[in-house]
Structure 1
Amino acid sequence: MTRRVMFVQLKTGFDTDRGPSWICWVDFNRSWKTARFHGRELRRLPPGGAGDGNFIDVGTDELFWLSGPKRDRSDLRYGPGSPEVDDDVQDEYRAFLDGGPLPGREQG
């Protein structure tokens, strides 16, 4: 498994970019087609897949958007507020915002 700090947003049941979101650790399998976070197992959707998400929860069919966090904190394109930052990623995220490499992406 590859572990990365990611921006994750629930898309199902919310208007565009208004679902809950997190900055958290996400574990990916070797093919990058399966992601795990907060006890959920997500599968990558094919290009042009369902709606605004790029992953689907295999247990609930909820859609999620996963991407690397943005240093300018503009992760939510249209929604107000900001993502919840998990306690176990606070230090790494703060270092990234201060100009450090994104954990899990030190080599690019």
Structure 2
Amino acid sequence: MYIENKSSSLNGPARIGRVTFSKTGKSINYGGRTFQSLKGSGFKANFFDVETGERFWISGPRKDGKDRLYAESSAPVEIDAEVTEEYWRDIRGKLSD
């Protein structure tokens, strides 16, 4: 999934990583954090961290790699090491060397 922290700005730190869903499907877990949906009430965010209240944009990664809401942002998107090969092969359709 694409995970971008929106709590400080519209172009926050972002990464691609593997998430897990709760048994009920109402929350997402990633990196030791639990996120719940804002159910449409967020501004440029769709989830929040249940412990800190920080707001995030979480979505499936895009095939074209333009995951950021604002394309003019040149900030890098980190890719977790354990999903790098899968991301480039299955999402972007390219094999990494």
Q: How does the TM-score come out when normalised to structure 2?
A: 0.85
User: Is the CA contact (8 Å cut-off) linking 1:76 and 1:82 kept in structure 2?
Assistant: no
Give, in whole Å, the separation in 2 of the partners of 1:11 and 1:60. Answer: 13
Q: How does the TM-score come out when normalised to structure 1?
A: 0.77
Q: 1:59 aligns with which of 39, 51, 55?
A: 51
Percent identical: 33
Give, in whole Å, the separation in 2 of the partners of 1:77 and 1:53. Answer: 10
Number of the residue aligned with 2:19: 26
Q: Which amino acid aligns with 1:76?
A: R
Give, in whole Å, the separation in 2 of the partners of 1:72 and 1:46. Answer: 27
CA shift digits 1:45-98 (9 cap, x unpaired) = 122x13221111011000011111011110013221331000111111011211
Q: Alignment length, in residue pairs? A: 91
Deviates more, 1:55-64 or 1:75-84: 75-84
1:74 equivalent in alignment to 2:66: yes
Give, in whole Å, the separation in 1 of the partners of 2:18 and 2:86. Answer: 10
Give, in whole Å, the separation in 1 of the partners of 2:55 and 2:31. Answer: 15
- The two structures, once aligned, show a CA RMSD in angstroms of 1.4
Give, in whole Å, the separation in 2 of the partners of 1:66 and 1:43. Answer: 10
Give, in whole Å, the separation in 2 of the partners of 1:8 and 1:91. Answer: 18
Q: Return 5+ residue gaps in structure 1 as ranges.
A: 1-5, 100-108
Give, in whole Å, the separation in 2 of the partners of 1:46 and 1:26. Answer: 19
1:39 equivalent in alignment to 2:41: no
